[in-house]
Amino acid sequence: MSIGYVALVLHAHLPFVRHPESDFVLEEEWLYEAITETYIPLIQVFEGLKRDGVDFKITMSMTPPLCSMLADPLLQERYDEHLSKLEELAEMEVERHAHAGHMKYLAEHTAKEFNAVRNTWEKYDRNLITAFKQFLDSNNLEITTCGATHGYLPLMKMYPQAVWAQIQVACEHYEQTFGRPAKGIWLPECAYYEGVERMLADAGLRYFLTDGHGILYARPRPRYGSYAPIFTEPGVAAFGRDHESSQQVWSSEVGYPGAVEYREFYRDLGWDADYEYIKPYVMPNGQRKNVGIKYHKITGKGLGLGGKQLYDPYWAREKTTEHAANFVYNRERQVEHLFGIMHRPPIIVSPYDAELFGHWWYEGPMFIDYLFRKAWFDQDTFEMTHLADYLKKHPTQQVCRPSQSSWGYKGFHEYWLNETNAWIYPHLHKAAERMIELAKREPADELEWRALNQAARELLLAQSSDWAFIMRTGTMVPYAVRRTRSHLMRFNKLYEDLNHGKVDSGWVEKVEAIDNIFPDINYRVYRPL
């Protein structure tokens, strides 16, 4: 008999990166890598579980920028070309290693994988939204929304209209994408501030996710800690992250992905192969880059890339089954222990970035596959659930006020506000003020209407928390700076032009074609609440 629940939550998000104005932008490959290595492998896992009669339950947040990119014909076309190049290179690798024993096996393994990706991609007619939606329709997958562009809400709370726009535009976009209203939201970066739940309730949302300490420091103190959701005063439930299960998976130090048998992320054919051979598959300017074919395993801690040994899919698979069994075993012990203290079924919420599974940790989708099978066939201590189902079964919870929190470094807001990125906020605040001012206007004609809506899009895109995050991590910084500046410049030009009554129709058309997210947006969403 089941005495508890485990909820696996994946946060699938990428910033809106789409550059129709140029033939090649390296950052667009973030999407292509995620499709090849994470989203399609997850769809394949879900299909396999369904086929074998495993009634799996998982929660996934799919953010509006990601859904917009997955449904975009230009990016679908570009991904198709990207995949064709990968398949071509994989076939060349099979030929190149035809007589090289283990290398031949690895090259064939890679080529087979890319073919399977191609089959799934074509099966759903290039639109992965339809693939995920079928599992939403069968209630195996609960898809939640997020902020419209993953804006960091606590750092815009002085402009409630700006927070409201992030929530409302996301909910409208979700309904257009999936044909039903969203039940839950993954707060961007799990960042919560007091009072945001009122807006979530007004938008019709039933629950949100926050970090564990957001629940633990709630007032009054929650009786069951983060092992039961709490209801906020407006009636929206808050689920807290369980640190123990999270760490077991995401930590490369103590977590599973650091095992020596697993595939090494940082050693890639794009850097290893002879230059003339690999040249057609790297950047158009001839610079090397990761191509996504990797032949080596982690091998050992602290080894340089040169000391890495060849990967073996068989032993990696064996390790994955062992890790999935260990995860299930640990959750069983955790549930038994908690049930003994709580005298009611605990829920263990384990949220992760979706891209961890497959992209960063190559064996991750396989781990999810084995985890669901073992939880389904080999134990009856806990039930896998998704958050909407849990709330349906347990509609009564303690009412508390959560505490400010995020899942970033040190648990609050400093990753998104520090010496590397603080310069952006005066500009973002000014733009939010101007947008609220613009929202009071009524357009004189169709062109003004389009300009007002485009101004709203530009502000939302500038607010994406990804840019501040990238500035802090120190990789791809010039791109993040460029994106923040370009959206703000476009916004300010629209603001000036609208105020002078001189909107440039050719320029608006051009910007609409580049930043085409939220085609149905209504700028009035920024009107005072």
The predicted pLDDT at position 98 comes to 96
**Which residue intervals of 343-402 are DSSP H helices?**
364-377, 387-393
Instruction: Please choose, from the candidates 200, 185, 172, the residue with its C-alpha nearest in 3D space to the C-alpha of residue 521.
Output: 172
Q: What is the pLDDT of residues 76-118, one digit of tens each?
A: 999 999 999 999 999 999 999 999 999 999 999 999 999 999 9
- H/E run at residue 350: strand 347-353
Residue 253: pLDDT over 80: no
Q: What is the pLDDT of the chain when averaged over all its residues?
A: 96
pLDDT (mean) for 129-156: 98
pTM of the complete model: 0.96
In the predicted model, is pLDDT for residue 301 greater than 90? Answer: no
Question: Domains plus CATH for the chain?
Answer: 5-71+127-145+182-256+311-410 (3.20.110.10), 420-526 (1.20.1430.10)
Find out whether 91 and 39 touch, Cβ atoms under 8 Å.
no
What mean pLDDT is predicted for residues 409-430? 91
Distance CA 459, CA 149 (A): 10
How far CA 280 is from CA of 23, 214, 263, in Å, comes to: 15, 50, 25
- Residue 411's pLDDT is 76
pLDDT of residue 170 exceeding 80 = yes
CA distance 271 to 529: 54
Integer distance in angstroms from the first to the last C-alpha of the chain?
49
Share of the chain above pLDDT 90, in %: 94
Distance CA 39, CA 57 (A): 17
Angle CA 406–33–167, to nearest 5:
35
The burial class, CB within 10 Å (0-12 / 13-18 / 19+), for 24 is exposed
Which residue spans within 421-480 are E strands per DSSP? none
Between CA 429 and CA 445 the distance in angstroms is: 28
Tell me the per-residue pLDDT of 340-361, one tens digit each, with 9 for 90 and over: 999 999 999 999 999 999 999 9
- Two structure tokens written together for 296: 């080596």
Confidence of residue 450 (pLDDT cuts 50, 70, 90): very high
Using DSSP bridges, classify how beta strands 230-231 and 347-353 pair: parallel, antiparallel or unpaired. unpaired
- Helix or strand holding residue 143 (H, E): strand 141-144
Can you give the pLDDT at residue 200? 98
**pLDDT above 90 (res 8):** yes
pLDDT at residue 223, as a whole number:
97
Average pLDDT rounded to a whole number, residues 409-431? 91
Structure-block tokens of residue 2: 């089941």
Tell me, what's the pLDDT at 407? 82
- List, in sequence order, the alpha helices (H) in 378-445: 387-393, 424-439
pLDDT at 251 over 80: no
Q: What pLDDT was estimated at residue 282?
A: 96
In 165-313, beta strands by DSSP E:
184-186, 207-210, 230-231, 237-240
Neighbouring residues of 95: CB distance < 8 A, sequence distance ≥ 6 = none
Q: For 474-481, what is the mean pLDDT?
A: 93
pLDDT (0 to 100) of residue 417: 87
Q: Evaluate if residue 408 carries a pLDDT over 90.
A: no
Return the residue matching tokens 């949220």: 351
d(CA 189, CA 408): 7
How far apart are alpha carbons 178 and 103 in whole angstroms? Answer: 43
